[in-house]
Structure 1
């Protein structure tokens, strides 16, 4: 079976651009809001919060890097000094001013009280490779000085964040990441800022995209798809239990670690919620959006289960169920078209897909009183021991080709061959240079050495 169908994107993005941070298209790009009968969506008694529209262009990562065996390279350390961050374009008349760091001392309310308060800043890391680039900046593979710990450092330009009015999304991403601790979710280890940039230091996951393997195999066997889906369900259940909805579950945001386990990443559109409240934002990637988001009815955490259903369908068939045509046509298919399931899938898989891809959110599997347990207890998952799964004791049959913690074979060479520089930025808007409360050091760093994930 050849590569799955890919819907051309109106805004071409890089294959890795969405891995550690979304690349939103201009906010002028809208989504047609309509009800299934063509009428205006009815009002609801639930509280609905309105947010800016953030619609991501489709940038499917099925076409991944060329398969190769990573020979453990000789480690090259590069240090980005402040001198490397000199401004090239200075419209505000601050020519030559450097990206001077704010205090990088972890704030008292963000770390346990300790006499040995860890100070973290740009000078604490050696930069090894570029492993991604998006609309807001670059993602680097870095090593923490004095250790063998490898991380992914997301460097975000403040001026771009402010221009797109996405400061709240960036702050929410950082806040949410500080609250998450799950075996199938990428962990935030540090965050800090300089005058012109924000830095998120996350676990480095180098097994490549889950769906890169789908590209080569055409589709997954049900037994392998079951483990991957169970790990995704476990991660999403953890988010929901902590009052967080992801809102951008898609292939680009699912990585494999060196042991072959799923790692959920990219919380750029995630949102904290309270029960009985809904969000009215238009956000996500069209092919994975739930009908209620497209219809503008307001959505809650149940929208994530629709996206999980789309992901499962793609694993088992090689492509999403609602594709083809322009953005408007895809939206109409999501809202109106009946789900067509291949006959070669088992009846249990049919049942689960029908439950997850129920267009009416109130009837969707996972949306009832039992929540995620409705999904975990489904007969398709009867072979899954959830306790062992979450202890990472169930090993997927596929293990990615990774030769050590610094191996970057599963990243595009166009990134890894890029020079280790940070693009120039203009001066931020006056009075908005410091993102209050952004600095963070993960408490577990003081208690134990984080286990490497690849």
Structure 2
């Protein structure tokens, strides 16, 4: 029989009264080695085995009965949503199943029981807290973030500076309150109409796999009926394009560190079977310490080393000739884009420009690159290698092409291990005042109203099943 609410309250009162009578033996007491006796609270312990010295098999059975807690594991990244941190086992904590159907009062009782329960003298009072968090942490949405300012806008939506609101466990939300993030909001209807569903799903999936010191990490992803949301770290130094535009050109020493950090990030992507396909100054952010961070994986794709993609994608000025020719492309296309990016950092503009897109494409495919005489011979050599029109001859091609780039004489002064440990300090640091500083972002965005405006709900089927993701929490994935 299910107890009534009145009965439950009476049980709560009785439990509280009995708990107040408990005493824990001191370390000097002769009985200190014994388990704490809770019989006054829960009644006498009944044993299924009259033998006071249980065998190993009976001990195992007892653990199953009492819900012996599982070892919490580091969660692997999943393409369909958060995967469980608990090892798959029949020894499942009973209250996890009950959370779906029990009332808040029932959950409180279960929680108290698990916190008090002991098995072989081991204290398990932390288990229920972690397990409850496991259950509710994926329940997160737009209402958990306060929009502070608009910092960017694109074809599919907007990017906002947001603050994560304080934890509200009672409402099914957990995390690190008051954190500053960037929230990328994309309209489903626009994505579907432009046939970019696969790109948007790939962006989310790729970001759940990638962890690198020069790549902006994904913290959460979720959706509503009309929109997709990506929550990423907010990198407050602004876009590389913003600083390049203000300075005009970078010195070779300044560009060398930025280029090396990008090479490190792109090399990591390629080793993970990922091609970015949209390297340009607008997709590279700078943090408060002057390090660059690669972002925007909206056109990224997972490509096998031996396979090629035939998609026509990217920004024309940075597209490799093989993409424009429709011959199929692989990771070598990223090294071409890196060459264009380096050329622009050193000269102030890409090597191939034209107001007419078709003529621009022809120049990229056919025209010989002109190198400014004021650049060093080492810079000339690197640019010629990266901007080789034949991808098979391009510096960086082949299975270990990234190592060829790292060993190039222009990077002679770079200690790659120190660089990837973020121990190589850039000489330029952006002027940043606080985590939520937006002074380094274009005022054409930051002065616009910061509103996540309504969007129509697509009438088509569910294109984005399994989009929800929560990044692993170090506290939860430990011990």
Q: Normalization by structure 1: what TM-score?
A: 0.73
Q: Report what 2:458 is aligned to.
A: 428
Q: 1:107 to 1:166 in 2, by over 3 A?
A: closer
**Structure 1 residue 427, shift from structure 2 partner:** 2.7
- Alignment check: 8 A CA contact 2:85 2:477 kept: no
Q: Report what 2:68 is aligned to.
A: none
Q: 1:156 aligns with which of 160, 179, 186?
A: 186
Q: Report what 2:153 is aligned to.
A: 133
Q: 1:212 to 1:416 in 2, by over 3 A?
A: closer
Q: Report what 2:162 is aligned to.
A: 142
- Alignment check: 8 A CA contact 2:81 2:466 kept: no
Q: Report what 2:223 is aligned to.
A: 193
**Structure 1 residue 414, shift from structure 2 partner:** 3.4
1:406 equivalent in alignment to 2:436: yes
Please give the alpha-carbon distance, in whole angstroms, between the structure 2 residues aligned to 1:300 and 1:181.
Answer: 21
Q: Report what 1:370 is aligned to.
A: 400
- Alignment check: 8 A CA contact 1:127 1:142 kept: yes
Q: Report what 2:447 is aligned to.
A: 417
1:173 equivalent in alignment to 2:203: yes
1:337 equivalent in alignment to 2:374: no
Please give the alpha-carbon distance, in whole angstroms, between the structure 2 residues aligned to 1:332 and 1:384.
Answer: 36
Q: Which structure 1 residue ranges, 5 or more long, are not aligned?
A: 1-105, 450-454
Secondary structure of the 1:192 match is strand
Secondary structure of the 2:382 match is helix
- Alignment check: 8 A CA contact 1:208 1:255 kept: yes
Q: 1:322 aligns with which of 337, 342, 352?
A: 352
**Structure 1 residue 217, shift from structure 2 partner:** 2.1
1:225 equivalent in alignment to 2:255: yes
Where relative contact order (Cα < 8 A, 6+ residues apart) is larger, the structure is 1
- Alignment check: 8 A CA contact 2:81 2:467 kept: no
Q: Report what 1:41 is aligned to.
A: none
Q: 1:111 to 1:352 in 2, by over 3 A?
A: farther
Q: What do you get for the CA RMSD once the two structures are aligned? A: 1.8
**Structure 1 residue 370, shift from structure 2 partner:** 2.2
Q: 1:316 to 1:126 in 2, by over 3 A?
A: same
Q: 1:235 aligns with which of 265, 270, 276?
A: 265
Q: 1:219 to 1:173 in 2, by over 3 A?
A: same
Please give the alpha-carbon distance, in whole angstroms, between the structure 2 residues aligned to 1:448 and 1:141.
Answer: 28
Secondary structure of the 2:401 match is coil
**Structure 1 residue 107, shift from structure 2 partner:** 7.3
1:264 equivalent in alignment to 2:294: yes
Secondary structure of the 2:85 match is coil
Q: 1:374 to 1:447 in 2, by over 3 A?
A: farther
Q: 2:468 aligns with which of 429, 435, 439?
A: 439
- Alignment check: 8 A CA contact 1:112 1:443 kept: no
**Structure 1 residue 169, shift from structure 2 partner:** 0.7
1:303 equivalent in alignment to 2:323: no
Secondary structure of the 1:284 match is coil
- Alignment check: 8 A CA contact 1:111 1:440 kept: no
Please give the alpha-carbon distance, in whole angstroms, between the structure 2 residues aligned to 1:185 and 1:270.
Answer: 13
Which structure has the highest helix share of the two? 2
Please give the alpha-carbon distance, in whole angstroms, between the structure 2 residues aligned to 1:445 and 1:107.
Answer: 21
Q: Report what 1:390 is aligned to.
A: 420
Name whichever of 118-127 and 350-359 sits farther off.
118-127
Secondary structure of the 1:130 match is strand
- Alignment check: 8 A CA contact 1:368 1:374 kept: no
Q: Report what 1:294 is aligned to.
A: 324
Please give the alpha-carbon distance, in whole angstroms, between the structure 2 residues aligned to 1:378 and 1:427.
Answer: 51
**Structure 1 residue 422, shift from structure 2 partner:** 2.2
Secondary structure of the 2:220 match is strand
Bigger Rg, structure 1 or 2:
2
1:112 equivalent in alignment to 2:57: no
Secondary structure of the 2:432 match is coil
1:360 equivalent in alignment to 2:379: no
Name whichever of 325-334 and 231-240 sits farther off.
325-334
Q: 1:352 to 1:182 in 2, by over 3 A?
A: same
- CA distances 1:305-363 after superposition (whole Å, capped 9, x unpaired): 00000011111111111112411111111111111111111111111111000000000
- CA distances 1:3-38 after superposition (whole Å, capped 9, x unpaired): xxxxxxxxxxxxxxxxxxxxxxxxxxxxxxxxxxxx
**Structure 1 residue 447, shift from structure 2 partner:** 4.8
Q: 1:350 to 1:447 in 2, by over 3 A?
A: farther
Secondary structure of the 2:148 match is strand
Please give the alpha-carbon distance, in whole angstroms, between the structure 2 residues aligned to 1:173 and 1:312.
Answer: 25
**Structure 1 residue 288, shift from structure 2 partner:** 0.4
- Alignment check: 8 A CA contact 1:189 1:202 kept: yes
Secondary structure of the 2:308 match is strand
Q: 1:280 aligns with which of 310, 316, 320?
A: 310
Please give the alpha-carbon distance, in whole angstroms, between the structure 2 residues aligned to 1:278 and 1:154.
Answer: 29
Kindly report structure 1 stretches of 4+ aligned residues shifted beyond 6 Å.
none
Q: Normalization by structure 2: what TM-score?
A: 0.69
Q: Report what 1:122 is aligned to.
A: 142
**Structure 1 residue 109, shift from structure 2 partner:** 4.5
**Structure 1 residue 178, shift from structure 2 partner:** 0.4
